[in-house]
Structure 1
Amino acid sequence: MSVKRNQEIVSKRMKAKGASAGSMKRTATLAADLIIVFDLLRQFARFLGMEQELIDLFGANGLPLDLTTLIHHAHAENQTHAPGVSVISALSMLMQMGRADAVAAEDPLRPPILDTEGQSETMSNMALGWVSGGSGGSLKGNGPRIGTVVTVNGERTILFDQQTAFKQAQDEFPDLIQHGQKHTVAWASVWDEKLASNVVKRRTNQSGHKLTTHRVRAGNSGYVTGVRVAVDTILNGSWRSDFVQEVDAAKELVAA
């Protein structure tokens, strides 16, 4: 059986368990490279006239299936600790706890989310670090400021300050972001893991090197520069979905 055919089999099994497309491609390639060895062993066992039970052990539903399960499980667990996910997770929790905030580019003194109604608006702003205690019962930013909310091509986006946001997240959650990790590596991972907003083409420098930041004019306050992450990514926790789905799928495979 070819490596390509093995990839198709592994991908089909993982898809049935709910794994994401990106995970299937990476994991299926790794598993297929290893499974080809079992296919050779199965052919060799058949050539030697060994018992059918042993031949079946090297078949698709034998050791290759066990190997696929283990590889997928290890990959899914590792993905939950990926650098980009860790940074976004830390920043999200940091703001939800009111230990940092994101402000509106037009007016840093008011909550950044104004176009929703009732509790939804209040909860959204609280998820961005705004707390009760403002004048007239309004919300107030609790600082330090780690990001600025702007609109880019119709998408509400947070421009996270590269150094301030990373340092605050690292100080508060050293288990997620270990000391010694560089902010440049973490932000590059946010892009690599497709957690950054892609509504505008990623900038490059004069050498053609891809940059992690985006520069936007913010009203009369000049320009704001930061790593852009969609507000919905923070509010809805969409960064969790693929990885949690993969972990759950892996656990189901192991339990099967």
Structure 2
Amino acid sequence: MTTSIDKLIIGNKVFNSRLMLGTGKYKTPRDAHESIQASECEIVTVAIRRLPTNLTHDSSSFLNTLNWEKLWLLPNTAGSQTAEEAIRMAFLGHELACQIGQEENFFVKLEVISDPKYLLPDPIGTLKAAEFLVKKGFTVLPYINADPILALHLEDLGCATVMPLGSPIGSGQGLNNLANIKIIIENAGVPVIVDAGIGAPSEATAAMELGADGILLNTAVAQSKNPAQMALAMNLAVQSGRLGYLAGRMEKKHYANASSPLDQISKS
């Protein structure tokens, strides 16, 4: 386990878990529940477009079945093709957070995606929406391409994190943008959450070993043969990667170095 002082801080909130989980694409609600529990995540993201406008009038909604005393809602503007759409979705997200008793929750996962084939985020629309929402008091977590300069611009605007994609969303291709993610991590003054493309626990570990502050994923768990088991694997992978990063990797060498040197044996 990570140390008690190693917390993830986003905006004014402190979290123990560095794994965030999406709620879409599960075959059954039971799979989603069991996966959230196994992951030990504290942040769950929900696409605002998929939710009823009034949860109090829809007792069957998935959100009403979750324990919001232990979980923090991260409304997601997925499906927004323009900055204006994303801004509207962000305000709806806050209204939904209020309905589950999180009146102080102004978190929003900002997605502006105008590309229907590869679902790559629109950098200009994201910057525009982020600037507006930050000024309105939102805690903005922007989903972006692995662009180090864009990440710095969003941080300068006041975003609480930057969330570069490892590879296209839902693709399971892994960390195709590793070099740029590394640059983002080196330069960022806010948490870096790797979001999208991770398909296996080893990839989550690799991102965390690099120094990422957290991982957000959905499809890798929801579309696995055993979602709850994969959620547990991702949970352990994130913890393992974080511990490895904090411990500090040994220096690579160009030659062999015996773990039991002969000179020590001869002296014994």
TM normalised by structure 2 equals 0.21
More helix by proportion, 1 or 2?
1
Select the structure of larger CA radius of gyration: 1
